[in-house]
Structure 1
Amino acid sequence: ISEAGFVGFATGAAMAGLRPIVQFQVPSLIYVAFDQLVNQAAKLRLMMGGQARIPVTYTIMVAGSRGGVAGQHSDNPYPYLLHAGFKVVCPSNAYDAKGLLIASIRENDPVVFMASAMALAQRGPVPEELYCLPLGVGEVRRKGSDVTIVAVGHLVPEALAVAEELSRDGISVQVWDPRTLAPLDRDGLCAAVRDTGRVVIYDDTARTCGFAAELSAILAERVYGDLLAPIKRVTRADSPMPYASAIEKAVLPSPANLAQAVRTVFAYKKNRSSEHA
């Protein structure tokens, strides 16, 4: 097995007119192929002045690390791939996965499709016929008026469960799903946050230089005047993934931490309101 070989063959096949699909069974194995991915596939179209197309789809089964599978099976490497210039897709449900995968295969640029192992047990309607969902269009999964949760990939169902739990305490939570990380629906993101004026970003990558950090920067630049509370992030700790399950729990984002973050920004809103009363 040679991941670098697979990626190199796929790049050549794409330049010859095919639309290859490369499957990585374990997320950390993309690092073995990074030279072919980052220095070749991601750059060739621009290096050749647009004369070549690289329509390759890379599917990566990401575990998100739940259950002591340690460092080589636990990464969510999409921040690296975003930095390298790939289009990156992160579906949260089966219906989106099919429509976004077909759209990815039809793209003329390399696309990384993050297929979460945490979502494999989900059940839901998926039409038999072919259909595409456009890249770069997010989706409001639940309407709310108090706090917006921006959740990525397999964390969307967890965010919806937390939103339902908090509704019983009188907190109305909106959940927004970006679906694709690049291209990113910046207008949809900002609109979802303006709806409530408060936001918690729920992402299963590192806090420093992770995807949540980029979302925070976009919101600070574009909707700062509409915010009623500071932007809050619930992410992985800045740490490699440990093997021991007890330590693993301390590193990973969790529904309990998400619920606490939502309560914090909601309470901040109430305190600010009382100050001005």
Structure 2
Amino acid sequence: MSTTDLTSPGTTGTQRITLAKAINHGLRRALEQDPKVLLMGEDIGALGGVFRVTDGLHKDFGADRVVDTPLAESGIVGTAIGLALRGYRPVCEIQFDGFIFPAFDQITTQLAKMHYRSRGRLSLPVVIRVPYGGGIGAIEHHSESPEALFAHTPGLRVVSPSNPADAFAMIQQAIASPDPVLFFEPKGRYWDKGDVDLGPVAAPHDPAVATGLDRAQVLRAGTDVTVVAYGPTVATALKVADAAAAEGTSVEVVDLRTISPLDVETVVASVRRTGRCVVVHEAPTLYGTGAEVAARVTEECFYHLQAPVLRVGGFHNPYPVAKIEEDYLPGLDRVLDAVDRTLTF
């Protein structure tokens, strides 16, 4: 697949579809455009995956390109690395977030380092799709948010769409990227609907394109507080902006979209306008992505800040049972409380 032209045949025009369906459309486009693209994962074939994200692709592209694998995540990723070395562009699905750890060694010691180890001679264009996060009434190993572990590893791109339009574009950009990409899909938002332009998609890393894979986006302009979020918490941040507006507070919402590399420029520009910052994610707050954002904002915006950067996230304990997950997840009230606290300094 070309990294500069993601135009392909198929359905065009704007449709209102779910985030899961948007990823399905994006995968279909990639399979249509490049015969070297193939999908691998547990139950992704005839079943269409646990969340039906790959529904219909096995029927249309066959078992050689939509491959049902054994229940062996290390084997899935290891096989993908070998295929990438032979010129393929494999897209692996990890069935649930907590199942990725058997493949952790393959991802962090092989996939992430091969390009550097070969002094740039080898590239591994592997995409690993990871349904992550809570909100579906599931249990431990089915609702976790391990993205910071991979963002900490040099050599990996870590991205997470928050809406159907981004999901459609970003999965194609991830597949077109020459780098390995961890593609974290907010499973609690799979059924959220939005308008998606099914036309051509921008190149993955073009710095001139606002919707490039590495670029954050300001989804709502504001003047009093910047709320930075990604993946499943972006919708929460937008609800916070609505609630705060009713109380006379103007909240600017920034969707990171890419966790690594971090688009510091967009975040810093927003905080310099507002003077305050709250960072939100479902993962535990301690040592999380929010800590890196807070540190970078403090370094770059020290003389613009009117209050400390605050973080809102999960607690430092394993993901709880479904009955109390709403108490664990950063909901409207907890984020709104942080916004209010930044205004008291």
Same fold (TM over 0.5): yes
- Offset at residue 87 of structure 1 (A): 0.2
What is the Cα deviation at residue 253 of structure 1? 1.4
Residue by residue over 1:118-142, the C-alpha shift from the partner in whole angstroms, topping out at 9 and shown as x without a partner, is: 2112211112223134122111110
Per-residue deviation, residues 86-122 of structure 1 (Å, max 9, x unmatched) = 1011111010111111111111110011111121122
Relative to structure 2, which stretch is displaced further, 71-80 or 120-129?
A: 120-129
**Residues 1:197 and 2:275 are matched in the alignment:** yes
Residue 125 of structure 2: which of 37, 49, 55 is its match?
Answer: 55
Contact 1:135 1:183 in 2 (8 A): no
How far is the alpha carbon of 1:66 from its aligned partner?
2.1
> Residue 104 of structure 1 aligns to which amino acid in structure 2?
A
Sequence identity (%):
35
Amino acid of the residue matched to residue 178 of structure 2? N
Whether the 8 Å CA contact 2:276–2:342 is kept in 1: the answer is yes
* 2:339 alignment counterpart: 262
Structure 1 or 2: more helix by fraction: 1
Aligned AA (1:127): D
Mapped partners of 1:33, 1:117: distance in 2 = 20
Query: 2:126 and 2:182 mapped to 1: Cα distance?
Result: 9
- Report the counterpart of residue 42 of structure 1 in structure 2: 112
* 2:140 aligned partner: 71
Checking the alignment, whether the CA contact within 8 Å between 2:134 and 2:187 is kept in structure 1 is no
With 118-127 and 22-31 compared, the bigger mean Cα shift is at 118-127
Aligned equivalents of 1:149, 1:131: Cα separation in 2:
27
1:119 and 1:69 mapped to 2: Cα distance?
Answer: 14
Partner of 1:273: none
Equivalent of residue 329 in structure 2, options 249, 252, 260:
252
Give the counterpart of 2:297 among 219, 241, 266.
219
Establish whether residue 188 from structure 1 lines up as the match of residue 188 from structure 2: no
TM-score, length of structure 1 as denominator length:
0.93
Report whether the alignment pairs 1:84 with 2:161. no
Letter in 1 for 2:93: Q
| Cα distance in 1 for residues equivalent to 2:89 and 2:230 | 27
Once the two structures are TM-superposed, the CA of residue 244 in structure 1 deviates from its matched residue by: 5.1
CA contact (8 A) 1:67 1:245 kept: no
Would the aligned equivalents of 2:136 and 2:188 in 1 still touch at CA under 8 Å? Answer: no
1:206 Cα deviation from its structure 2 partner = 1.3
Report the Cα distance in structure 1 between the residues aligned to 2:73 and 2:286, rounded to whole angstroms: 28
Give the AA of the match of 2:333: A
Q: How many residues align?
A: 266
Q: CA RMSD in A?
A: 1.2
- Secondary structure, counterpart of 1:46 in structure 2: helix
Contact 2:228 2:256 in 1 (8 A): yes
TM-score, normalised to structure 2, is 0.75
Distance 2:74 2:96 in 1: 14
List runs of 5+ in structure 1 lacking aligned partners.
269-277
Distance 1:219 1:184 in 2: 12
